[in-house]
């Protein structure tokens, strides 16, 4: 089949899977989570902005919103992506899907795009609410805060790839969702709330903190001890390293997921 025909098949799978997600609870749940997190962040940020004026007031208000964005992306990807591949094996629908004149890579690409795009809708709603609240209360949205959006899209790409890998490996969608929830949500909360003696630059849960730290201008502050060694009490991700790490996670996890899905046997249910 030529490239045009393959692309049409990918778009058809994407359309079908997207409509299925939009009409189900899978989209509603992360949207409810996004609104709930916005409400909690509003209660925190509106108190922090008191005593500041202008841009400083806007940044103080935005701090809890931006810091919570990785959580929303992780929840959306977990709910919308972890069952999409495993269900072909769990429910036996792959016996029908895989006998059609369509490659497994085409099915994977359509399902991946569907999960990513619907998760992107959730993320767009979250940032739209965030910036609308900031404009209404602080009177402006700092230009630097907008840099969080492309960083969030890159992080969403990474977590989508990881969730698709769990979906390709797990015998059941519920197992994939539980594993992804523990790794992408629980571990992320842990990584964002503890201190480390050395910087865990290799961790996606650590690097996703750049979504809040970079727009707010946070940087690692080093102190020099009596021996001349530089030490830090709290590490902050570097934007260049964070982008590379997130891209590596996205590419490697997606490549592994499509490989597993391609060669997985239907009898491995």
Mean pLDDT of the chain: 84
User: Any alpha helices (H) in the chain, and if so which ranges?
Assistant: 3-22, 25-48, 54-81, 86-90, 94-97, 104-138, 148-169, 173-180, 187-191, 204-207, 210-216, 239-263
What is the helix (H) or strand (E) element at residue 223, kind and residue range? Answer: strand 223-224
The residue-averaged pLDDT of 34-56 equals 88
Q: What range defines the domain where residue 24 resides?
A: 3-268
Q: What is the pLDDT of residue 232?
A: 62
The average pLDDT across 21-40 equals 91
Q: Please write the tens of the pLDDT for every residue from 172-197.
A: 777 788 888 887 777 777 776 666 67
- Residue in 214, 68, 222 with CA at minimum distance from that of residue 145: 214
Q: What is the pLDDT, as a whole number, of residue 1?
A: 54
Segment of 94-98, 153-157, 203-207 carrying the highest mean pLDDT: 153-157
**Average confidence (pLDDT) over 29-33:** 94
Between CA 187 and CA 152 the distance in angstroms is 18
pLDDT of residue 96: 44
Give yes or no for residue 80 having a pLDDT over 70.
yes
Q: 259 is written with which tokens?
A: 């490989």
Phi, psi of 192 (to 5 degrees): -85, -5
| Percent of the chain scoring above 70 in pLDDT | 85
pTM confidence score: 0.87
pLDDT for 30 = 94
- Lowest mean per-residue pLDDT among 81-95, 142-156, 160-174: 81-95
pLDDT of residue 227: 59
Compute the C-alpha angle 208/261/28, nearest 5°. 55
Q: Residues 236, 188, 132, 250: is their CA dihedral positive or negative?
A: positive
What Å distances lie between residue 255 and 67, 108, 258, 259, 266, CA to CA? 29, 11, 5, 6, 20
What tokens were used for 114? 């569907």
Q: Name the DSSP class of 184.
A: I
The confidence score (pLDDT) of residue 95 equals 37
* Higher-confidence position of 98 and 255: 255
Query: In this structure, which long-range contacts are made by residues 166-170, counting pairs with CB atoms below 8 Å and at least 24 apart in sequence?
Result: 166/82, 167/81, 167/82, 167/83, 167/84, 167/85, 167/86, 167/257, 168/85, 168/86, 168/256, 168/257, 168/258, 168/260, 168/261, 168/264, 169/260, 170/82, 170/86
Half-sphere exposure of 118 (CA within 13 A, CB side): 31
Each residue's pLDDT tens digit, 222-237: 566 555 566 666 788 8
Whether 269 shows a pLDDT value over 50: the answer reads: no
What average pLDDT score do residues 17-33 get? Answer: 89
- Kindly tell me if the per-residue pLDDT of 66 is higher than 70: yes
Q: What is the pLDDT of residues 130-161, one digit of tens each?
A: 999 999 998 899 988 999 999 999 999 999 99
Instruction: Supply the pLDDT for residue 37.
Output: 95
Per the structure, the count of domains in the chain is 1
């Amino acid at each position: 089949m030529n490239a045009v025909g393959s692309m049409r098949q990918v778009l058809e799978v994407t359309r079908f899977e997207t409509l299925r997600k939009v009409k189900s609870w899978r989209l509603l749940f992360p949207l409810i989570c996004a609104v709930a997190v916005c409400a909690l962040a509003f209660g925190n940020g509106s108190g922090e902005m008191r005593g500041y004026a202008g841009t400083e007031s806007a940044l103080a208000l935005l701090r809890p919103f931006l810091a919570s964005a990785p959580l929303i992306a992780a929840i959306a990807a977990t709910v919308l992506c972890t069952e999409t591949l495993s269900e072909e094996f769990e429910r036996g629908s792959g016996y029908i899907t895989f006998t059609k004149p369509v490659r497994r890579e085409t099915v994977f690409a359509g399902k991946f795009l569907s999960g990513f795009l619907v998760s992107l809708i959730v993320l767009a709603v979250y940032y739209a609410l965030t910036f609308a609240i900031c404009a209404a209360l602080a009177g402006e949205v700092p230009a630097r805060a907008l840099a969080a959006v492309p960083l969030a899209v890159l992080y969403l790409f990474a977590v989508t790839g990881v969730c698709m890998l769990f979906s390709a490996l797990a015998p059941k969608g519920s197992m994939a969702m539980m594993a992804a929830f523990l790794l992408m949500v629980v571990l992320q909360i842990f990584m964002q709330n503890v201190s480390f003696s050395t910087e865990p630059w290799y961790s996606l849960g650590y690097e996703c903190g750049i979504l809040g730290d970079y727009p707010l201008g946070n940087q690692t502050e080093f102190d020099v001890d009596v021996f001349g060694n530089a030490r830090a009490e709290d590490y902050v991700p570097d934007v260049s390293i964070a982008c590379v790490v997130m891209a590596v996670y996205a590419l490697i996890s997606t490549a592994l997921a499509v490989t597993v899905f391609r060669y997985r046997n239907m009898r491995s249910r």
